[in-house]
């Protein structure tokens, strides 16, 4: 056990140092100065059964200060009043509304909807977004200014993930902690390497030319992690990108409750593990050993092992505090829930993997997608 604690201490020291340097290189959108521009931007919003949020989202987009914005709303087979609400805005000169009635084989609904929006876009730049997001008026003006200032081809923005209740906030903070050291999102801002990259589905701005060069959404038609994959493809194809936080400019309620979050992650947890049992087992056991075991060891051991386990716990809390402060608006005491949230997330991974195999696929927004289709790379 002593050797294991030494290994974990070294691991978390490296992870903490990496995150400290990496997170410091992610700028805040609030610090970006706006510069005048009139390039045409086509914003594409995919919406399915979003009647409770879409009106506020569209209104915040219509109020944007950017002067040359085309808004394309794609209603993806909604069974509620989403389509009717979208149609209310079709009379605006810069708004297009498109209704998807059927979903072709080997496509996920959201990805297909975004692709359909692209076929209607007339701008040289595209923004992909969701229908449950609220924008500050200068959001697009600032992000496009950043893209031009940095001479980048792609900008993605991490939003403020609004949440109700301490358990849900703790779970989201934990998710961002794990995502941070596992995916290392700050690699998006490293111009010396084509590895890594980042994509946040809430907001992805890129040139149409680069979008076409990486294959459009056809190249990721059946990927639940299309946003991350798009950002990675941009990076790996040698195009400059930027990741910024937009905690004051972009707000979204990711999930209303902890139960909804656990259920919602069914769709992409296993996808993030490439539908591999081996990777799933590694992720589950790795989480328990590296993040839960040190707390147990501290209480049951003595001597050097006890003090090393305490060091590991301190390093974990330091890293968790760092990511929570940078990527959320939550108060830092939320990190004290770490051991509980680690167990909840382990349960979430296990549940998602077992349900995906038991059902033979995933259900996302009312549509079932077979595992055999999800493993295919492109639509026919």
Residue 377: what pLDDT?
54
- Collapsing DSSP to helix, strand or coil, 376 comes out as coil
The answer on pLDDT for 98 being more than 70 is yes
CATH of 27-163+183-253, one of 3.90.550.10, 3.40.50.300, 3.40.50.10490, 3.40.30.10: 3.90.550.10
Cβ-based burial of 81 (10 A; exposed 0-12, middle 13-18, buried ≥19): middle
Gap between the Cα atoms of 144 and 69, Å rounded = 11
Instruction: Select from 70, 56, 258, 250 the least CA-distant residue to 142.
Output: 250
Tokens 């927004």 — which residue?
A: 365
Domain ranges across the chain? 2-21+264-374, 27-163+183-253
Task: Dump pLDDT digits (tens) for 2-46.
Answer: 999 999 999 999 999 999 999 999 999 999 999 889 999 999 999
Q: Mark out the alpha helices in 150-225 (DSSP H runs).
A: 166-183, 208-213
Q: Mark out the alpha helices in 265-359 (DSSP H runs).
A: 277-287, 293-300, 303-327, 338-359
Q: Give percent above pLDDT 90 in the chain.
A: 86
Task: Dump pLDDT digits (tens) for 323-367.
Answer: 999 999 999 999 999 999 999 999 999 999 999 888 888 887 778
Q: What is the mean pLDDT of residues 183-199?
A: 94
């Amino acid at each position: 056990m002593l050797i294991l604690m030494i290994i974990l201490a070294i691991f978390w020291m490296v992870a903490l140092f990496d995150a400290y340097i990496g997170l410091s290189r992610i700028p805040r959108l609030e610090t970006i100065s706006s510069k005048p521009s009139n390039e045409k931007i086509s914003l594409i919003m995919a919406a399915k059964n979003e009647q409770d949020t879409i009106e506020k989202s569209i209104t915040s987009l219509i109020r944007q200060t950017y002067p040359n914005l085309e808004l394309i709303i794609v209603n993806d087979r909604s069974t509620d009043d989403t389509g009717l609400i979208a149609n209310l805005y079709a009379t605006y000169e810069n708004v297009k509304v498109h209704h998807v009635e059927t979903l072709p084989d080997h496509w996920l609904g959201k990805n297909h909807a975004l692709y359909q929006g692209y076929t209607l876009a007339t701008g040289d730049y595209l923004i992909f977004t969701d229908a449950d997001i609220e924008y500050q008026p200068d959001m697009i003006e600032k992000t496009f200014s950043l893209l031009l200032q940095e001479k980048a081809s792609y900008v993605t923005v991490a939003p403020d993930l609004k949440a109700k209740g301490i358990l849900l906030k703790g779970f989201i903070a934990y998710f961002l902690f794990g995502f941070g050291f596992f995916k290392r999102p700050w690699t998006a801002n490293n111009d010396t390497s084509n590895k890594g990259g980042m994509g946040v589905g809430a907001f992805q701005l890129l040139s149409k030319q680069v979008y076409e060069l990486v294959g459009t959404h056809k190249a990721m038609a059946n990927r639940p992690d299309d946003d991350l994959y798009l950002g990675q493809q941009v990076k790996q194809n040698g195009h400059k990108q930027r990741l910024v936080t937009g905690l004051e400019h972009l707000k979204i309620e990711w999930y209303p409750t902890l139960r909804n979050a656990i259920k919602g992650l069914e769709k992409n947890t296993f996808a993030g593990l490439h539908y591999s049992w081996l990777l799933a087992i590694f992720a589950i056991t790795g989480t328990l050993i590296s993040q839960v075991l040190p707390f147990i060891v501290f209480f049951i051991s003595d001597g050097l092992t006890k003090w090393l386990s305490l060091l590991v716990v301190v390093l974990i809390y330091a890293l968790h505090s760092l990511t929570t402060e940078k990527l959320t608006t939550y108060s830092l005491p939320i990190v004290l829930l770490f051991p509980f949230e680690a167990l909840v997330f382990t349960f979430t991974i296990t549940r998602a993997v077992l349900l995906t195999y038991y059902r033979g696929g995933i259900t996302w927004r009312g549509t079932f997608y077979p595992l055999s289709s999800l493993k295919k790379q492109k639509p026919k």
